[in-house]
């Protein structure tokens, strides 16, 4: 959407959260509240976003790692109008300006797009989003005239008893013509009970100046739910979880227990994949079609192909090919590329490694800093010894190698194609192609040892 900017207010301390970190950095499904709002603003077409920071400003700025985001500082919290004033250099008189809040993560892009369209169709100088709620206590009230046209907003603390009976409240979401916002901010005062600069007063100033102001009633007031405490954070998380899970089910994904499934906002899942109970899917995870994930699996920033079975295991920042099985109780650590038709069995850990197509690592193995080829067989207890006490080294295991049980491959070492490593061996030198390598002490049998031991102890 052209000619649109967004200002997000995120300067408050959030004392009711009872937390050492800023309120807007608290997470819902492993994503901060402020990141939800920024992504929604950009998703509805905002070309640039300015976040107004205050409490622990450096911490908030450091946590936001997104392009097209700038910052303005509100050193003292003197109301919402004052916060927007601090973004004065960002406000463009020739553009529309959305005003959003860093603690309202449930707002959706489609809702904001409708707001922008209505604002422009009616040629309003400002448009506010309202909502009808059963308990309006604490919210500013929308005051309309006899014809239902917007008149003003009265804050709860300044409202009369009659005005406090009104159930149409201000959600705090606005869109302004940039020029009207600049002009009204210049006239704003703090003559109220709190001695603050109220942004809603800008609407009255626009009306007094001959401009038009509209109020658009939200279809779902839950989108504008503000988070001010841990209890409200949990409530918002439940709403977000239900929304995300419903979207995936409508797109052909089976969630056997939606209430016990936690899927991040940016996760993508293919058709006919089944997610079993207790799964946590986070970050930019992408799962293909016809997979079976869980139960009790955690995937963070993973890319998974089609037909994968991932059971009761953890995967982080790695890639898995088609028709591979993982788990139970496997651990895929960052920077792994695991091929198709691979078996990663129980209690297997893979870290910073490539695993070729058709390779099998059935159980109780550590594959770290390794380049394993195709159709390799790692026996139970295979260990890649990648650390010499000072540096990490890589192990190369070429195609069709058979690694016996309880084998240590001490890096840096290369096992060439088709070689066999005898069980119990500790390999410290390169192994040629197609040979059998044995590196273990010769077995000895000491006759009469037990009898001598018993006689000595008696």
Q: Where are the domains of the chain?
A: 4-224, 253-437
Please list, in sequence order, all residues whose beta carbon lies within 8 angstroms of the beta carbon of residue 50, skipping any fewer than 6 positions away: 5, 6, 7, 8, 69, 70, 71, 72, 87, 90
What is residue 441's predicted lDDT score, i.e. its pLDDT?
Answer: 87
User: Which CATH architecture group holds 253-437?
Assistant: 3 Solenoid (2.160)
Going by C-alpha positions, the residue among 226, 224, 207, 228 that lies closest to residue 216 is 224
Closest CA to 188 of 119, 92, 86: 86
Of 202, 401, 65, 405, which is closest to residue 413 (Cα–Cα)? 401
Task: Note whether 4-224 and 253-437 share their fold.
Answer: no
Dist CA 246 CA 96 (whole Å): 33
Q: Say if CB 302 and CB 319 are below 8 A apart.
A: yes
Q: Show pLDDT as tens, one digit a residue, over the chain (458 residues).
A: 689 999 999 999 889 999 999 999 999 999 999 999 999 999 999 999 999 999 999 999 999 999 999 999 999 989 999 999 999 999 999 999 999 999 999 999 988 998 999 999 999 999 999 988 888 888 889 999 888 888 888 888 888 889 999 999 999 899 999 999 999 999 999 887 788 898 988 998 999 999 999 988 888 888 988 899 999 999 999 999 999 999 999 999 999 999 999 999 999 999 999 999 999 999 999 999 999 999 999 999 999 999 999 999 999 999 999 999 999 999 999 999 999 999 999 999 999 999 999 999 999 999 999 999 999 999 999 999 999 999 999 999 999 999 999 999 999 999 999 999 999 999 999 999 999 999 998 888 999 988 888 888 87
> Which CATH number is correct for 4-224, 3.30.450.20, 3.90.550.10, 3.30.300.130, 3.40.47.10?
3.90.550.10
* CB of 273 closer than 8 Å to CB of 322: no
* Residue 188, pLDDT score: 94
CA-CA-CA-CA torsion sign (107, 110, 113, 119): negative
Residue 95's CB: how many other CB atoms inside 10 A?
Answer: 19
d(CA 297, CA 97): 42
Q: Chain centroid to CA 371: how far?
A: 30
Catalytic residue numbers, as ranges = 363
Is residue 277 within 8 Å of residue 294, measured between CB atoms? yes
> What's the pLDDT score for residue 1?
67
């Amino acid at each position: 959407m052209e000619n649109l900017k967004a200002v997000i207010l995120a300067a408050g301390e959030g004392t009711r959260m009872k937390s050492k970190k800023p309120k807007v950095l608290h997470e819902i499904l492993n994503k901060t509240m402020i990141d939800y709002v920024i992504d929604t603003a950009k998703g509805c077409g905002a070309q640039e976003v300015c976040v107004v920071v205050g409490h622990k400003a450096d911490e908030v700025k450091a946590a936001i790692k997104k392009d097209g985001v700038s910052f303005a500082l509100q050193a003292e919290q003197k109301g919402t109008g004052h916060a927007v004033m601090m973004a004065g250099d960002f406000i463009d008189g020739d553009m529309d300006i959305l005003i959003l809040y860093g603690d309202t993560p449930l707002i959706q892009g489609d809702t904001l797009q409708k707001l922008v369209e209505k604002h422009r169709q009616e040629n309003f100088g400002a448009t506010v989003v309202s909502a009808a709620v059963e308990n309006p206590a604490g919210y500013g009230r929308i005051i309309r005239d006899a014809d239902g046209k917007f008149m003003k907003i009265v804050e709860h603390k300044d409202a009369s008893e009659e005005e406090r009976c009104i159930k149409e409240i201000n959600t705090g979401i606005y869109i302004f013509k940039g020029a009207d916002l600049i002009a009204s901010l210049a006239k704003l005062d703090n003559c109220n009970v709190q001695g603050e600069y109220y942004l809603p007063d800008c609407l009255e100033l626009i009306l007094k100046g001959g401009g038009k102001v509209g109020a658009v009633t939200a279809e779902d007031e839950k989108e504008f739910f503000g988070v001010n405490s841990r209890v409200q954070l949990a409530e918002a998380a439940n709403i977000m979880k239900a929304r995300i899970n419903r979207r995936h089910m409508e797109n052909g994904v089976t969630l056997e227990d939606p209430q016990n499934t936690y899927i991040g906002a940016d996760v993508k899942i293919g058709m006919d994949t089944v997610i079993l109970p207790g799964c946590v899917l986070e970050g930019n995870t992408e799962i293909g079609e016809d997979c079976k994930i869980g139960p009790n699996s955690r995937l963070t920033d993973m890319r998974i192909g089609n037909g994968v079975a991932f059971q009761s295991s953890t995967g982080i920042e790695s890639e898995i090919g088609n028709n591979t099985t993982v788990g139970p109780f496997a651990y895929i650590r960052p920077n792994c590329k695991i091929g198709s038709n691979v078996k990663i069995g129980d209690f297997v850990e893979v870290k910073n490694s490539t695993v070729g197509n058709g390779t099998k690592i059935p159980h109780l193995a550590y594959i770290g800093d390794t380049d394993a080829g195709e159709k390799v067989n790692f026996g139970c207890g295979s260990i890649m010894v990648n650390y010499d006490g000072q540096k990490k080294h890589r192990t190369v295991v070429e195609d069709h190698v058979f690694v016996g049980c309880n084998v240590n491959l001490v890096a840096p070492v290369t096992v060439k194609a088709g070689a066999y490593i005898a069980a119990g061996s500790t390999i410290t030198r390169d192994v040629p192609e197609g040979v059998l390598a044995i590196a273990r002490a010769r077995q000895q049998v000491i006759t009469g040892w037990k009898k001598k031991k018993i006689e000595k102890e008696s």
